[in-house]
Every structure is written in C-alpha cells, then in structure tokens.
Chain A
Amino acid sequence: MKLIVSVKRVIDYNIKVRVKADNTGVDLANVKMALNPFCEIAVEEAIRLKEAGVASEVVVVSIGPTAVQEQLRTALALGADRAIHVETDELPEPLNVAKLLAKVIEAEQPGLVILGKQSIDSDNNQVGQMLAALAGRPQGTFASEVKVEGGKVLVTREVDGGLRTLSLDLPAIVTTDLRLNEPRYAKLPDIMKAKRKPLDVKTPADLGVELKQHITQLKVETPAQREAGIKVDSVDALIDKLKNEAKVI
C-alpha cells in the first residue's frame, strides 16, 4: 500500500514570533523554520507503518515556495521514499491546498493519506477535512492511534472523557494529534541518502488547479500586553482597587 503524507514548512514552534510593523503578517526573514509538529507526527506514523510492513511506499508532498524542499528533504531523511513539491509563490489558503492534494491523490492512488490536524502557524484545521470531501473518502481526524487491519484503518480519537475508535474504508484520510507518536531524529547517514532520493517539482497548472483566493487577511497583531501585577499593602487598598480601578466589585 502506498501512503501519502502532506507536510508544511512553518516557523519553528519554540521561536518567539515577531509581527511585521505594518501588521500584514509575521516577519519570517532569517527566522528558524521547521516541519509543522503535527506533520512531523504524520511522517513518523507513515514510516512506522512502512517499517511494520503495512505500507510499501511513503510519498511526502509539500506546497509552497522553493524553500519547502528543505522540509521535504527532512521527511526523506526520516524515511520517506520520494517527494513531490507543488511550487507556489506563497503558502496558499486551505481550500487551495486541499484541491492541489486531491489532484496529487488522484494521480498517485494511495491507500492512505496522513496529514497533521493543523499547522501551528495559521491554526486552520481544515485541509484534512476539505481533502476528504473533495476526494470523496472517509476521514478520521485527530488520531491518537492508527491501525491498518483487513482493508480498513482503525483510528482512535481522544474525545472529552474517553476514547473513540472509528473504522474507515481505505483509501482514507487521517489527521494526526499530538499524542500519536514521538517523532524520531534525522540520522546523519539518512540525511546524506535523502539528498539523492527523488523529488519531483510540479506547478498547480501541471495538476490542473487554478488557485483562487477566497480569504483576505486583514491584519495580524500581537496579543495585547498584559500589565504587570502590583502588590497592595492592605485589604482596604485591595478593595479600593477592585472597586475603583478594576471596577469588578
């Protein structure tokens, strides 16, 4: 069975984000970038399925400018077999991503598609679901466990107060949650081998998709600064502040 994993290049999750002065977005100049953590988990899961003999090939896909090839190489170093880069100038909005992925799937005919449940930069949590709809395939979102058995995939989801397990017909779309696995590190010999693994570059036009913009981002702002707390020296002073400054009593 062939697996497709889609991955996104995002700002490293530990980096403190700086908003551009004109509020048009986040400053990405010379900022450390990494695989989106949920995508990293998706790659790990795919490789484990391959190691377990369930999958025969793992194909990683990423959409965006040339720089995303860096993350594709990381995924190849982690154990994916080949990569597809769909080249676009900017990172397209979720619906466009889903349309592009749907075309890739149509061409590749995988048995299972694994994606991160959301990317930590835009927090949309939409691509997996949209893709399932466009491809007309069942979806199992927020997976905390994935098992392939008898032509089905069993997806366990952590819901409020318990676990819920779904059985989906293959091919299916699965999105990963944080606790699904602990991703491995890229090993040096594999990093070196990854440089020679196949990486195809395609354009949206090659896939027959016209990118349309449906969403306009108005502005990006940093959260309002919280004022530092103060100490008061008596209960009276506290009551006074709560009444007259905070106006909560």
Chain B
Amino acid sequence: MNILLDSIEKVVGSQNVLRGEDVRSRTADWMTKEPCLAGAIVRPANTEQLSEVMALCYEANQAVVTHGGLTGLVRGGMASSDELVISLERMTQIESIDCVSGTMTVQAGAPLQSVQEAADQAEMQFNLDLGARGSCTIGGNIATNAGGIRVIRYGMMRDLVLGVEAVLADGTVVNSMNTMLKNNAGYDLKQLFIGSEGTLGIVTRAVLKLHPQLTATNTALVACEDFNSLTGLLQHARKSLGGELCAFEVMWSSYYSLLTTESNRHTPPISSDAPYYVLIESLGAEQKESHERFEKAIESAFEKGLLIDAVLASSDHQREKLWAIREDVEGLAHLLAPRFAFDISLPILEMDKYVRKLQSAVSQRWKNAKVIVFGHLGDGNLHVSVATGDASDETREAVESLVYEPLKLMGGSVSAEHGIGLKKRKYLNLSRTPAEIALMQTLKIALDPRGLLNRNKVLPDILA
C-alpha cells in the first residue's frame, strides 16, 4: 500500500494523505464513534484528482471506502486496515445557482446545510432536510437517497437531483450533469448512483433541483386519541392544506413522554397522556393566507374529533422548540443506551398492529424492554428503537428478527431511508426478491468488476 500511497501523494499532495494517528483519531461511525481503521485517508480537491487516484487504486487492486459527513446510520463508512478512505471533505464548492431553471451545481462534499443556506441567499429553497443537516454531505445524501422531514411534499433525494458526476472504480469520469427537468435520451444513468451507497461509483458533483423560497411556515403539535384518528388526520391535512402540507411527523406516546415528562429534556407543550402525537407543518407563500388556512384545517380536525388537543407555534422560536422534541435523536440515544435502532417502512394501515405486536413480542422476551416509535408517518416510514438493557450480538439478532420478519408478509422494507450498508446486509432478501438481488449483482459487476468500492456492503457476496 505504501508505494501506492506515494503515488497518490503526488496527485493530491502529501498533506492530503492522512496516515497513522491522523486516521485513528477520526471516527468511522456516527452511532458508535468507533475509530477509523483504514490504511489511510485520501482527500482529493476535485474530480480530476479523484479520477487519477482511482486509476491508481484500480491498477493496484486497492479497495476504497467513501466518506462524506459520516452521519450514515448503517455503518457504510466502516473501513478495515487494508482499505483506503476517500474523503470528500475538500470538495465543498457551490459552483453555480440558476434561479430561472431552479438548479444548483455543487461538489459532492458540500454539507447539506451550506447548500440550503446558499439557496436561501438566492431566495430559493433546497428541500432536502434532515436532523444531520449540519454534517451530512450532498454526496452522502445522494449515495443513501436520503429522505428526511419534507419527503411528503418534495420527495426523497432522488426527486431533488437532476444530474450527477461520478468517478468509477477504474477512474473513469461519468459526467451526467443534466440540468433539465426532461431528458429521455437513453438510460438515466444518474439513478445508478442515487441510493447505491457508494458501491457503483463515487459521486463527485451534482445538479440539484431548487424550488422557489416559501417563508410562510405554520406548525402545530397535536394529540390523537387512536390510530384511526391519526390516519384520518393525515387525509384531512392533505386535503384541507392543499399542497401546503410539508411535514406529518408522528411520535408514539412512548417517544413523546420519554423525551418530555420522563426525562425533563423538553417541557411538554401538551400533556403526555395521549397515545399519539403529530407535528404538522405547512409551508406556503403568503403569511396571512397560509396561517388562516392552517388554523382552519386544525380547527376543523378538532371539530371532527380527529385530534383531542393541539398547540400552535406562535413564533419561529416556538416552532423550533416543537421540532427539537421530534429531532432529539441524541436524547433518545442517550436515554435508551444501549439500544437497537431501526428504520423501516410498511403500509400505513398496518402500522399500529405492527407496533403493538412488536411491543408484546419484545416484552414477552425481555420484561423491562422499551420499544420507542416515531417516524414520517405520511411516508410509511417508522423509526423504531428497542432497548432491552444489553447490546450483545445475540440479543441484537433476536431483536432484528422480531422487527424485520413481519415486514416481509406486509410488503414492508427493512430500510426506508437509511440504506443497507453493513448493518442490514443479511436482511436485504426480506425486502427484495432473488431476481432483484441478482440484477443488482449484475450491475455491480458491470460497474465495479474488481469489487473495490465499499466492499462487502449492501449486496450479499457474489458467488463466483
């Protein structure tokens, strides 16, 4: 590896090849904070350098792992000592913004928040948003096809990317930097890189889709009496808010009371004895009009008995405090440690039954275990945390099968938005058919014949 690293240093400069303690002092996983074990970390400044680096790695049969902001939740950033890490931390440029077409061209290492802020500056809006916004990168968002809190209105990352540039395992640069909404000339190659978690190519630049800036946000936290009202409320909100509904985030009472009354981390805005809480947000163009529509929608939901209590944020500060409850993943991790966390999707109508069954199965096995649930209900996506008090592999596997097995029958997915990475690799077959997995493997072999990119991740081993 040392000879290879010497050649790589000539491309990126010696200060951009980190070794030894400089590597070990960094973490490879947000959740566990394990140290990075890679042989070295290479930090190219641009696509050309990365292309040269990859050509050298290809020659030397050197496996690599790509690092963006390392906020991924499925251990996709883990690297062993015989792998190199390619970090995009120096490729953070925002290259251009076109307000007429509604596009922004960026380097893939740009942090999501800096992209959001650049769009704001131009009085536009980039509509991917998630709790890790300050650290996660556009490349990571593309690689994991990230979702987040505005999917119900604007879709996942896939819906917000018009073009991609990627470097393949052998250093080939595939420039697919389309800027148009429509382009049906042949295969839409960017889709190969969106959601493939760095296994097919390294994303280096992207053309993102912007929307006009809307500033009229209205936020409410509401309590529902039963699951039927919850789904009724979702339908009601979709209809009465027109296209303005942009978040419908549900917290089961176990989540809400844990983070408010039980831990005192947040003052509960409404009492914590209801079974379900929803954070509803609308986003519109006109302050007054939007506000009136929102208030009316919530009032009529109340009159119809779809909700039993609600508070409306009367300032942005109050809005932030409401969101802080929903986004307090750190609090959750801290209060439940050790816990197993899951990101699953399933048909909305099955959710309540699924959660009840899981709760009873878990408590049958571990008497004092906790099952804490929240999620993007409108997207059919739940985040489930199970804390049994121990973190052994044995318990993990037992919990995993309780969480994952029932999904297969319902046509649910073992990964709604976080991806497969290393963590869920052996469960891929619960959500994908053998034919689907075989086609994925065909693509992998075609794009990365030597298996150098994010080795051992996402797909099961390819049988020779």
A interface list, Cβ under 8 A from B: 12-15, 30-35, 37, 40, 74, 182, 184-189, 191-192
Contact = CB atoms under 8 A, between A and B. Distances in A.
A67 to B, nearest CB: 9
Contact of B298 (A13, A185, A188): A188
B236 to A, nearest CB: 14
B317 interface: yes
Given A191-B295, A192-B299, A185 B311 contact: yes
Nearest to B299: A192
A74 B310 contact: no
B216 interface: yes
Contacts of B360: none
B267 A182 contact: yes
Contacts of B298: 188
Interface residues of B, number: 28
A102 B195 CA distance: 65
Nearest to B223: A188
B314 A188 contact: no
A65 B316 CA distance: 22
11 contacts: A12-B315, A14-B317, A31-B215, A31-B287, A32-B287, A40-B315, A185-B311, A188-B220, A188-B298, A188-B307, A191-B295
A187 B270 contact: yes
Contact of A33 (B217, B287, B310, B320): B287
A240 B304 CA distance: 73
Contact of B287 (A13, A30, A188, A189): A30
B351 interface: no
B234 interface: no
Contact of B302 (A14, A33, A37, A188): A188
B315 A37 contact: yes
Residue in B267, B286, B298, B314 whose Cβ sees the most chain A Cβ within 10 Å: B314
Contact of A188 (B215, B217, B309, B316): B309
Contacts of A12: 315-316
A187 B309 contact: yes
A185 B309 contact: no
A74 B312 CA distance: 10
Contacts of B286: 30
Contacts of A35: 314-315
B318 interface: yes
B313 interface: yes
Given A13-B317, A189-B302, A32 B216 contact: yes
Nearest to B319: A14
Contacts of B309: 187-189
B316 A186 contact: no
B269 interface: yes
A13 B317 CA distance: 8
A237 B257 CA distance: 57
B49 to A, nearest CB: 20
Contacts of B314: 34-35, 40, 74, 185-186
A185 B215 contact: no
Interface string B211-237: 000011100111000000000000000
Contact of A187 (B295, B310, B320): B310
Contacts of B310: 187-188
Query: Top 10 nearest A-B pairs by Cβ distance?
Result: A14-B316, A185-B311, A188-B310, A34-B315, A185-B269, A12-B316, A74-B314, A187-B311, A186-B314, A12-B315
